[in-house]
Amino acid sequence: MKPFILGIFQYIGPNGTIGSAWQHPDDTSADFLKISHWTTLAQKFEAAKLDFLFLADSYGFPALNGELIDAALAEGRGIPHGDPMPIVSAMAAVTSNLGFILTTSTTVEPPAANARRFATLDHFTDGRIGWNIVTGSSGATAAALMGKDLISHDLRYDMADEYVDVNLALWEGSWSDDALVLDKQAGLYAEPDKVRMVHYEGEHFRTDGVLSVPPSPQRTPLLVQAGASGRGRRFAGRHAEAVFLAGGDPAVVAANVASIRQSAVAEGRSPDSIKLLVGALFITAETHDEAREKYDEMLSMSTNEGAAAIYAGNTGIDLLALDPDRPLDQTSTEMGQSNLERYLSKDGTPAPLVRDILENFRTTGINGSVFVGSPEEVADQAEAFIATTGADGFLIQPHMTPGTYDDFIDLILPILRERGLAPTEYSGNTLRQRLFGAGAHLPDEHHGAGFRA
């Protein structure tokens, strides 16, 4: 088995991904608006040689029928949260290898604004940037906040295809590799005939212009995607170089992994041109019993009301208003579909009841797998999970900040290293080189290469 790719999941807010851990005396996540909180974490992750820090984001917030959900505010879940972009430069300044994957939605800003910001950050980080492309979770509230109507689910993805293409056209097409001259003696900054206007006309987006930033180390940031609906998987096949998957039932994850690799093949790409990374929570301690105690403590900070608020913000469905003894009667949503599809009847198995859905969501949250046990037990579970699913690694979710990470780094990582399942040194200069062991730029088989001049 190859060494796992290991990234860290965070968002600019209090709490981990299950319950409201900020209230625990040892948790520091309520400091999320202090720069030092992030620079300290980034240095910790780099010292452990972890591949990247992923920052999730959404403009959405938990609300139903135009009203904020009280439990979300009371518990600090889904709101508040800040913008991930501004903190990256500070973290890049105190690290030199850690990658940063940032989320932006294709439904908020014009694509050219996104292209310029990522190009600038790719310079500031020396090629350590990735873009997590989302069509936006909590889509209804995000759209209303922006003064727009919610765009239907599949149309959002059709628009996202064009949105990404505009970005690719600007990154790949504007500047030739040798356009920047910087000859002080000759007084020549850039070769005028090696920088060109880009023209793109789609159904939903157009641009006539140039990327104002000279080519960055990767040109196009590492392209990442996170929506696992059927349409989301097709989108991944076309664009993504890495996909974040929710964990959970290994058989379901294995099917998603296979389906996403198949979508890449359908786009003329090789099946391993996409790295599949599974969201997972690792709860460990020196002994099995201590780990179980930590797990129970985590669940004691996770309420039905808080879980239902997050679920409602994500899908538009209020689990607390439904009959707990029936399955979901709604089988589609124009909001995020992954968290609805997850609880529908599959392959003839009966659909779970609302009470079981709520309990599952309360205890596993939006991203899925929870591994609990002694360090050896957890390493065994993680290894078995990768063997069964064919995924490439994990996105390590926080419960306690920084406790969950300290436990992973101090107790689990040494065992993974002993087994050859985690790298001991950084390799590759850019994030793309680290993950693929190949070049810094988008590979030629990716359709984005077609935008090169």
Ligand X SMILES: Cc1cc2nc3c(=O)[nH]c(=O)nc-3n(C[C@H](O)[C@H](O)[C@H](O)COP(=O)(O)O)c2cc1C
Q: Give me the residues paired with residue 223 across strands.
A: 131
CA-based max dimension of the chain: 79
Interacting span for ligand X (CB under 6 A) from 161-169, 220-228, 289-297, 346-354 = 220-228
Length of the chain: 453
Only one of the segments 54-62, 160-168, 318-326, 427-435 lies at the binding site for ligand X (rule: CB under 6 A); that segment is 54-62
103 labeled binding residue: yes
Closer residue to ligand X, CB minimum distance, 38 or 200: 38
Is the CB of 364 or the CB of 367 nearer to ligand X? 367
Candidate list 173, 227, 306, 428; residue touching ligand X; CB under 6 A: 227
Binding of ligand X by 246 (CB under 6 A): yes
Interface with ligand X, residue 57, by CB under 6 A: yes
Q: Which of 57/162 has CB closer to ligand X?
A: 57
Q: Say whether the peptide bond before residue 110 is cis (omega within 30 degrees of 0).
A: no
Q: Tell whether residue 245 is a contact of ligand X (CB under 6 A).
A: yes
Q: From the centroid of its chain, how far is CA 53?
A: 9
**Looking at 19, 78, 232, 237, which residue binds ligand X (CB under 6 A)?**
232
- Helical H runs in 64-110? 70-75, 85-93
- Backbone dihedral region of 316: left (phi > 0), alpha (psi from -120 to 50 degrees) or beta? left
Instruction: Report how far residue 134's alpha carbon sits from residue 152's, in angstroms, rounded to the nearest whole number.
Output: 14
How many residues bind ligand X, per CB under 6 A?
A: 26
Please say whether the beta carbons of 107 and 135 come within 8 A: yes
Q: Which two tokens stand for residue 24?
A: 């625990």
Question: Does the protein bind ligand X through residue 313 (CB under 6 A)?
Answer: no
**Residue 437 contacts residue 228 (beta carbons within 8 Å):** no
- Report the residue number, 195 or 254, with the smaller CB distance to ligand X: 254
CB 113 within 8 A of CB 59: no
Which residue, 261 or 441, has its beta carbon nearer to ligand X?
A: 261
**Can you tell me whether residue 245 is helix, strand or coil?**
strand
Considering only residues 115 to 154 of the shown chain, the ones binding ligand X according to CB under 6 A are 132, 134-137, 153
- b (16+ CB within 10 A) / e for 281-309: bbbbbeebeebeebbeebeebbbeebbbb
**Chosen residue from 58, 97, 174, 315 binding ligand X by CB under 6 A:** 58
Q: Which stretch binds ligand X (CB under 6 A): 42-50, 56-64, 252-260, 416-424?
A: 56-64
Assess 229 for contact with ligand X (CB under 6 A).
yes
Task: Summarize as ranges the residues that interact with ligand X (CB under 6 A).
Answer: 56-58, 103, 105, 132, 134-137, 153, 226-229, 232, 244-246, 279, 336-338, 366-367, 395
**Binding positions for FMN:** 57, 103, 153, 157, 229
